[in-house]
Amino acid sequence: MPKLRHIFFLLLLLGVLWHFYGDTFQKSGFSGTMDEMKSDVEGIKENPRVALTIDTIKQEIELLWGKFSQNKQDDTPTTPAPDAPNLHQPTEQTFSVHNIEIGDIRSEVEKEVGEPKRSTINEYGVEWVTYHENYHNYLMVAYDSSDQVAGLYTNQDLITSTVGITFDSTRDHVLATLDDPIKAIRKGRILYQVQDTKEYNTFLIDDNYVTIFYDIHENNTVTAIQIISAKLEKEKEGFFGQPNTALKEGLEYQLFDLTNAARVNHGLSVLSWEEPLRKTARDHSADMAKHNYFSHENLEGMTPFDRMDEDAISYRAAGENLATGQPSSIFAHEGLMNSLGHRENILKTEFNSLAVGVAFNTDDQPFYTENFLMK
């Protein structure tokens, strides 16, 4: 591949030179052509705008080569997607995910879905246990101290219900089918309002808090579901989780996994975890949390690309997503998917790696930074 790349650039260079100096070569020969090229080079040195233009062209050529290389790689055989599970209606609850319901026993769950891929602490103080097949058939399960299912989430077409709600259902259909969504959740003496953003609704069903998320870019159809038992929800004292190192890492890996599950939904390749970039992402989240701002440009005027360069991160293209105010990576991710610019980063074909950095402010509020790379 490096030899092919050199030939590609050599042919491109010869074409450019002939375009500019072909007439001179025919009239004055090699010597006359070299004299004219030397004169032009001196002029470029004295004209920084021309030099900047050439540098920009070089970057575009690199990106073009990256797309060419990626297309060549995409031609190679890939592992076929696994079969979708045979789903059936829930027997005890209104909703099930991958044939799993709140209250099921972990051993039975893992007979259905296999061994977990990752376990990380969530805002409820328990683990989200993640199951998938290279991010196909993706779901997250939370277990209580008795190894019974206390929480479920998926952003893939794995839900069944006794009321006919599926991933093809619209928000209007959901609201017409279920009882009114709740407007607040009480925790002790504090009433936490559930925002009406039209991007999700939360319902109290079967003694569970069921949050249904909608994709505003796909005709407001159902795009994800989270089910949390009322008992687990009441054990969480505040709106945000209790900050600690385990929760920080948990939110980071959860957002990474959610991003890959969304990419698989759209027929894209999964991203690899870019460990050296996590520091860059964490540092920016920590800076925003400490100094109470929310922006891609920090208070010193540094852009995401400046911060990556400062940390010696190599890339050909990069992007950044930010989120804050959401209690979990699930809510952060679903919000990002409904924001067009952030969605484009998540679903950008050229990106091949990602790191996530999380930090908390003094009010326990998490700040999320996603940094994407094309290497």
Q: What pLDDT tens digit does each residue of the chain (375 aa) get?
A: 444 555 555 565 565 555 555 666 566 665 555 555 555 544 444 444 444 444 444 444 444 444 444 444 444 445 678 888 999 999 999 999 999 999 999 999 999 999 999 999 999 999 999 999 999 999 999 999 999 999 999 999 999 999 999 999 999 999 999 999 999 998 888 889 898 889 999 999 999 999 999 999 999 999 999 999 999 999 999 999 999 999 999 999 999 999 999 999 999 999 999 999 999 999 999 999 999 999 999 999 999 999 999 999 999 999 999 999 999 999 999 999 999 999 999 999 999 999 999 999 999 999 999 999 999
Q: Give the orientation angle of helix 48-74 with respect to helix 2-45, to 10 degrees.
A: 170
| 3-class state of residue 50 by DSSP | helix
Task: Output phi, psi for 187, to 5 deg.
Answer: -130, 105
Q: How confident is the model at residue 81, as a pLDDT?
A: 83
Per the CB < 8 A criterion, the answer to whether 354 and 373 are in contact is yes
Helices (H), 105-208: 106-113, 171-177
Residue 277 near residue 373, CB atoms below 8 Å: yes
**CB-based contacts of 291: which residues, under 8 Å, 6+ apart?**
299
Structure tokens belonging to residue 306: 């400046």
Alpha-carbon gap, residue 140 to 118, rounded angstroms? 9
Strand partners, 356: 370
Return the SS3 of 100. Answer: strand
> How many residues does this entry show for the chain?
375
- Evaluate whether 361 touches 315 at the Cβ level (below 8 Å): no
- Tell me the C-alpha distance between 45 and 35, whole Å: 16
pTM (global) more than 0.95: no
Query: Alpha-carbon distance 373 to 110, whole Å?
Result: 34
Token readout for 84 is: 């979708």
Contact 309, 359 (CB under 8 A): no
Q: What does residue 147 show for φ and ψ, rounded to 5 degrees?
A: 60, 30
How many angstroms separate the CA atoms of 179 and 204, rounded? 9
Contact 113, 138 (CB under 8 A): no
- The continuous run of DSSP H or E covering 41 comes out as helix 2-45
Residues 260-269: b if buried by 16+ CB within 10 A, e if exposed: bbbbbbeeeb
